[in-house]
Amino acid sequence: MRSPAPPRRPRLARWLAAAAVAVCTAAGLTVLTAAPAAAVETDVWYRIVNDHSGLAVSIQNGSTTAGATAVLASPSNAADQQFRFVDSGGGHYRIQARHSNQVLDVYAKSTANGADVVQWADNNGANQQWQVNDQSDGSVELVNRNSGKALDNWAAATTPGSRVSQYDRNNRETQHWKLVPVESGGATGNGSLTDPNVQYYGRWNTADASWYTMGWAGGYVETAFTGSSIGVKLRGTIDMYYSIDGGAETWMRGVSGNATVRTGLSPGAHTIRIGFRERAGSYNGDPAFGGFLLAPGGSTAASARPANFIEFIGDSITVGQPNGDRPFTAYGYLVGDNLNAGHTQVAQGGACLVSQDCYGMMDWFRRSSAWVSGDDWDFSRYQATAVVINLGTNDVGHGVSGAQFQQNYIVMLERVRQAYPNAQIFAMETFRGRYSAETQAAVNARVGAGDAKVHFVDTTGWLPDSGDLVDSVHPSDQGHRKIANRLTPIIDQYI
């Protein structure tokens, strides 16, 4: 279980030694002042205050919409004025807004002076990466990796609401910014659906202002909070699991209404994660979340969202069926927690790759859930840094030929790339070896077309023991743990 507090689990490939951060000047930039700053802390929220105006960078009107512009505002404790620096390596950082989890982005990858700086879903693009350069007066210069231009108080404005842009580096106070740490605890919240401290992972339908519904199998919700108790507001009956302070996931079966999760908590800060059993097959619970119920005097607190997010696309194996403790015993959930990454399982029992009398995930992965009628998912809601595809086990039973499977797998990879331009994509061989050659050929075709971030995962021999399966197809909990132990280091070397 990964809580929103500092990570509980170490990372596999990076646990043997502390990672050394390379601090260097980006190629092609004219050096005006000192080397990149070493003082930026990635676990601290900052206000970014302009030396010339004394105004702070803010997202206009506190919007959570992708494309909302960065402007100047009178400094306050508002969450839309709080930013953290997410390490992109090589001395560059994404600058993440606390209220939206989106990052500062030079719109449309522009290299022009005066281009809009907006918030956008984190895809780790060069136009979302900023070099932090120390200045002699204690401020910093923020230089965009894509354009080589500095974050700038456009037109030397002193009025709230004025634009923030990029401009040629000039070492003036309009391009000097103080990083002011936000007071411990930051902005508090009330646990409501729109509380910026409540963080959603996976495909959540937010069209109903009263109830957000979990789509597919692996969505969950997290927050940090204070108070002696915590509860969850539910609509209909559902099997809900929870974890407090990074502890083991625990079921509350068949709960509804205002459900008390835990009482008698000690004073101080705590964390909670909740999620639901998937709505699928004969199980039709109501995975609707209405917010957290806080103790009198309690509040939510902000927590750092992980830098990586992994989406697992598949069938019943990826859901974790038929094992009773799914989703949190399924390999995808385990891999995500192993890597301290956000994660979700976009998966359905009986799903295929090809839409031929079947849930064809080459089409259905573009939807918010398995019970909507059209391609309604907005991929700007979040960007995956890794996507794992495990499909092909069921296509045999629907008469899909090898040639047809290979052709459609190429289309699937193209569509995933369109949805997630910068993600590492992993195409897993099915555990029964079905369409293995065709899957690898599809990966080779995409690599040959210039997509170097697509990888074939050979799963031969991953489940050798009789106890690894509950039948001839589905992994047991033991089998899922073995898969996770194999898959975690493969993904870890790329993200």
Residue 327: give its domain's CATH number: 3.40.50.1110
Residues 364 and 315 in one domain: yes
Q: Per the confidence metrics, is the pTM higher than 0.75? A: no
Residues 91 and 157 in one domain: yes
**Domain residue limits at 148:** 46-181
Residues 473 and 342 in one domain: yes
Residues 292 and 326 in one domain: no
- Give the mean pLDDT of 197-210: 94
Any domain includes 240:
yes
- Give the mean pLDDT of 446-465: 98
Any domain includes 15:
no
The string of pLDDT tens digits covering residues 63-99 is 988 999 999 999 887 888 999 999 998 899 999 998 8
Residues 313 and 294 in one domain: no
Strand partners, 199: 222
CATH number at residue 266: 2.60.120.260
Residues 404 and 448 in one domain: yes
CA dist., res. 393 & res. 471, Å (int): 14
Distances (CA, A) of 415 to 250, 364, 411, 447, 455: 36, 11, 6, 15, 15
- Is the bond into 10 cis (omega within 30 degrees of 0)? no
Q: What is the pLDDT confidence band of residue 14, given thresholds at 50, 70 and 90?
A: very low
Any domain includes 263:
yes
Report the DSSP pairing between strands 212-214 and 204-205.
Answer: antiparallel
Is pLDDT larger for residue 19 or for residue 295? 295
Residues 57 and 170 in one domain: yes
CA dist., res. 195 & res. 207, Å (int): 16
Other CB atoms within 10 Å distance of the CB of residue 34: 13
Give me 137's structure tokens.
Answer: 């007066």
> Could you tell me if 277 and 242 are in contact, meaning their C-beta atoms sit under 8 angstroms apart?
no
Burial class (CB in 10 A: 0-12, 13-18, 19+), 137: exposed
pLDDT of residue 186: 55
CA dist., res. 372 & res. 216, Å (int): 11
Any domain includes 137:
yes
Assess whether pLDDT exceeds 50 at residue 34: no
Residues 172 and 224 in one domain: no
pLDDT of residue 306: 86
Residue in the structure block whose two tokens are 């569509």: 415
Residues 164 and 68 in one domain: yes
Is pLDDT larger for residue 390 or for residue 10? 390
Give me 254's structure tokens.
Answer: 């068949």
Assess whether pLDDT exceeds 50 at residue 25: no
CB-side exposure of 205: number of CA atoms within 13 Å?
18
Give me 34's structure tokens.
Answer: 């000192």
Residues 272 and 337 in one domain: no
pLDDT of residue 183: 64
pLDDT of residue 39: 57
Q: Among 276, 301, 326, which residue terminates a domain?
A: 301
Residues 105 and 245 in one domain: no
pLDDT of residue 15: 23
Any domain includes 5:
no
pLDDT of residue 137: 84
Residues 208 and 323 in one domain: no
DSSP state of 116: B
- Is the bond into 322 cis (omega within 30 degrees of 0)? yes
Query: How many domains does one find in the chain?
Result: 3
- Give the mean pLDDT of 228-249: 97
Q: Which residue type occupies 300? A: T
Q: Among 181, 208, 223, which residue terminates a domain?
A: 181
Any domain includes 170:
yes
Least confident residue range of 1-10, 184-193, 215-224: 1-10
Assess whether pLDDT exceeds 60 at residue 436: yes
CATH number at residue 68: 2.80.10.50
Any domain includes 22:
no
Any domain includes 23:
no
CB-side exposure of 441: number of CA atoms within 13 Å?
11
> Could you tell me if 246 and 7 are in contact, meaning their C-beta atoms sit under 8 angstroms apart?
no
CA dist., res. 200 & res. 272, Å (int): 12
Distances (CA, A) of 4 to 103, 159, 266, 307, 485: 19, 37, 18, 12, 23
DSSP state of 75: -
Q: Among 154, 181, 208, which residue terminates a domain?
A: 181
